[in-house]
Every structure is written in structure tokens, then in C-alpha cells.
Amino acid sequence: MLWRLSVVFSMATFEDFKGLRTRGYLRDSTRDQREGFGPALQRHAIQRFASMYGLDLHDHWYEEYVSGRSVERRREFARMVGDAQAGAFDVLLCFHTSRFARNREDAAAYKRRLARSGVTIIFVSQGIISGTHEHFVAEGVFEVLDESRSREIGRFVGAGLRQKFEAGLANGVPPLGYQNEPGPAGRRVRKVPDPRTLPVLRALLGAYATGRYSYRSLARWLNSRGMRTRLGKPFTKAAVEEILANRFFAGQIVWHPGRPDEEVRTGIHDVPDDIRELWNRCQSVRSRNATRFVHQSGERRVYPLSGGLAICDACETDYYGQRHKERDGRFTRRLHHNRDARCTVRPRSQRADLFENQLAEGILKDFRLPRGWKARVLQALRGDFESDRERAELARLSRALHALRRQHLWGDVSDAEYKQERDQIRAHLRRVDIPVANVDLNRAGQLLSDFHGLWTHAGVTDRQRRDLARQVFRQVRIRGDRIVAVTPRREYMPLFAAALRVCGGRGERI
């Protein structure tokens, strides 16, 4: 591994990669295809580059069709990272920096992870070898431009979706039983009943309205009769639940459901009277069924480490909380691994209290800050002990800002573009360089010292434990039945570093 890393960072030309094991990464969305980033173009450019410089590609590809700035929903991307960590290849060819990531935080994090695995990324259309001194400034500028462009597209798309909502049109793909009606100039604007799938919707709603089925048993019943979803796939518990919770069948459209700015309006789509009546009856059944899984306090079960905090150390997917019925009829609280199909980590799930106890007993039970910790932490926050990652990030952004100024002076960038990109880089610089005044050290130190007592106190609710965990930690990494690493939030990192000198690491990665 060390040899591979030394080779990667010494390479400065494409010829140096000849014969190395290579794989290609393709990412596409409908919008990207219209703008010239289609999969055929990406594949051809990558193949041509590999052939030109003698890279060992051998038709090894990661290909997916997903949009957005986050990499969370990219299964092939997660598989690629896992293969890289397993040492499956040496070089990743990507058509453009925007295909790899469209926000700088993800780009920096995953480039570091691949670099630690001995993998070099090459962006073939821009001629960039990621991480090299020669391409450092250009790579940083392209990352800023990619995120800026993605945000601009997001604003336009958001404005268009809002206009459709205000006109009474439902956004998104049509639900079961409906299809898009072509509008002017071929645009699909209105959702109308689909004679092909409407009978399936009636059967689903009618069966659940009897009260004899759960989501899972209803999915099995539908599948046993050969019924399928709108996309022709078998029904799952989640698919049934999504249909029964969709207010579209009550004639409503919803803007940002579940968010603070949620807004409900009457849609202009037609809902047959029998569908509307069945859906309303189903809501009564759902309400009755839900009371079986509600605490005496009236609050649903909250899982302190679920919701993106706990993730698998092997494949980066998250854990979710769910009540599990044991063979003796008791219900237990469990964390389930939202596992990628290729992840081999076992077991599939564990009792939630196992990890909750590990967090308090194994990591923060004996948390103690040494004498003089405050001065040491203040010195670290001012930059004397600034990490290599932060120094590299600050240097990268500073160089990107310098390059942008030079382009502006040369006339390659207009005044408006210069101001917009300069403000974005400066904003990111402010986020990287945390002011000491923003950190209440006394409060943070007291909270960490009291963490074990607060976490284990009988009067503290799961909701309060969840808020406490999210205040202190950004990530908890699990492998099998053990917590193997925790990542504190930025303001708590110097305090953990100071405390580790006293209490040791206990075998966990922090």
C-alpha cells in the first residue's frame, strides 16, 4: 500500500500509468444528457484515453443514473469506493470533475479516501490527475465551478417545480394507477388515470381497507396474485406504505412533505370517487394499526443512533431503527443495516441498546480533560495544531482564489462571474477557518464530562439521547456488533484530542 501511494504521488504524466489496473466511472442524469454529458460520450472518451495511454481498463465500469449534489444515493459510487479500499484497482477514469462529485465537501472527502487506498483519479476531458501539484489549482477551480453550476440548476429546477405546484399540478413521477398526460409541445404536465394499473390500485386499497393486512402481508398477497408496481416490480412493504400515505389519492398535492415549509393544496388531477373513498377508509385502518406501536407516552419509538448517524464501516450505508418481534412474542429495539448488496458485514441487525451502551461505556465513560486543556485547545483552534486536511483545504481554496483573480485580470472571466465565484470561495474559506469565538469551550467540556451520566440517566428519553448524540458526534461507524470509530463534530475535536492523552483510545478510532 505504501509503495502504491508513493508511486501515485510521484506521477506527473499520463504515460506513467501505463499497464496499471484501471476502472471507469460513469454518472448520468436526464439533464446531463441534454447538456452533452451522456453515457455514450463519457464511455467513448474514457475508452479512448485508456487506449491512448495503455491503461488496463478491460471493460470494468461503474455506471449509474442519478442526479443531485450528494453522493448518498449513488450505489455504484459506494461500490467503487469499497472496491478501491479492497485494492481492486489502481486508477479511476472519470469523464469530468462534475461526474465524480458536485459539491466540494464530498469531492475532498472521497478523493482523500481513494488516495489512502492507493487509487489515482484522472478526469479525462479536462486532462487532470487529481491530487498532483501541477493540477492542484485547476482541480480546485473546477470543483467550485461544478458546485456553483449545480446550485444554479437547482434554483431553476426548484422555481419550475414551484410554478407547477401553484398551478395545481403534482410534481414527481405518477403514482400507481396514473400516468403522465402529454401537454403542449410534448411536455408532460398533468397526471391522469392509467387503465393498465388502476385495477391494481383498487385491489390494494380495497384489501387494506378490510383491516386484515399489514403492509408486509399485503405486499405478499399482491405479489402472489401476479400484481406488480407501476414499474413492473414486485411489491414491498415500503412500496405499499408509500401508496397508502400518498395524499395524491385524496385529490391533494403537497409541497415539501414533512418539512417545516410543507404546504398542501387541492390538485387539478382527477381522482375517481371509489378510489378517494377507499383511500380515506385506509387512513382509518392505518390510524388503528399505528396505536399498536405507540408508547404510553404517546411518542413513537426514537432510535438515538439511526437517521444517518450510525453507518457501516465497510460499505458506508446507514443503519435504521425498527421494532423486531422475537420468537417469544416480545418486541425489541434493533438497528438494521441498510446494506449494499455486496457488503459482507454480518450480522444483519443488532439490538439498538448494544451500540447505545458501547457509545457511553466504551468511549465516554472515563472522559477526563487534563490540566491546562483550555489553553491547549485554544492554541489548536487558532491553527497551531491545525490538521493536514484543513491546511490542504485552506491552501487549495487560497490558490483557487488567486487563480480566479488572475483570470479576471486577463479578461477570461467577466466581472459578474468573478464576483459570484469569489464570494463562493470566500464563504467556503470562512467555513473552513472556524473562529475561536464561536466555540463555548466551558460548555463543550462540561457536556463531554457529563455525557455518560446524561446518557445513562433513567429520566432521559430516547429523543433527548438522539439530540445529545447529534450535538457531539457527526458519525458513528459500526462493523458487525462493535462501534469501531466515532467522528466528533468540529468544535469537539480538540477536546477529544486533549482527553485522549489522559484516558487513551480504548481501541476505537476517533
| Cα–Cα distance list, 330 to 297, 325, 326, 374, 438 (Å) | 19, 6, 5, 48, 47
Determine the Cα–Cα distance for residues 67 and 157; give it in Å rounded to an integer: 12
Cis, peptide link before residue 347, omega less than 30° from 0: yes
pLDDT, residue 436, reads 42
Burial class (CB in 10 A: 0-12, 13-18, 19+), 325: exposed
Helices 441-456 and 493-503: crossing angle in degrees, nearest 10, is 60
pLDDT at 367: 65
Pairwise CA distance, residues 160 & 218, whole Å:
37
| Crossing angle for the helix pair 215-224 and 198-209, to the nearest 10 degrees | 130
The cell numbers describing 382, all together, are: 487558532
pLDDT for residue 296: 41
Q: Which one-letter DSSP state was computed for residue 318? A: B
**Residue 138 dihedral angles phi and psi, to the nearest 5°:** -60, -40
pLDDT, averaged in runs of 10, over the chain (510 residues): 40 77 84 57 88 86 78 81 87 89 82 88 89 81 78 68 82 88 65 92 94 90 92 89 92 83 86 92 86 48 76 75 71 69 67 77 66 62 53 72 73 74 71 49 68 75 80 80 78 65 45
Query: What does the pLDDT read at residue 264?
Result: 87
For 362-417, the DSSP string reads IISTT--PPTTHHHHHHHHHTTTT--HHHHHHHHHHHHHHHHHHHHHHHTSS-HHH
Q: Distance between CA 282 and CA 263 in Å, rounded? A: 22
What's residue 438's pLDDT? 47
Residues 120 and 124: their CA atoms lie apart, in Å, by: 12
Whether the predicted model's global pTM rises above the 0.85 cut:
no
469, containing H or E segment: helix 462-472
d(CA 424, CA 421): 5
Task: Give the per-residue pLDDT at 292.
Answer: 55
Summarised one tens digit per residue, pLDDT across range 306-342 is: 777 888 777 777 777 777 766 766 777 777 775 555 5
| 2 touches 118 (CB < 8 A) | no
Element (H, E) at 254: strand 252-255
CB atoms within 10 A of CB 185: 5
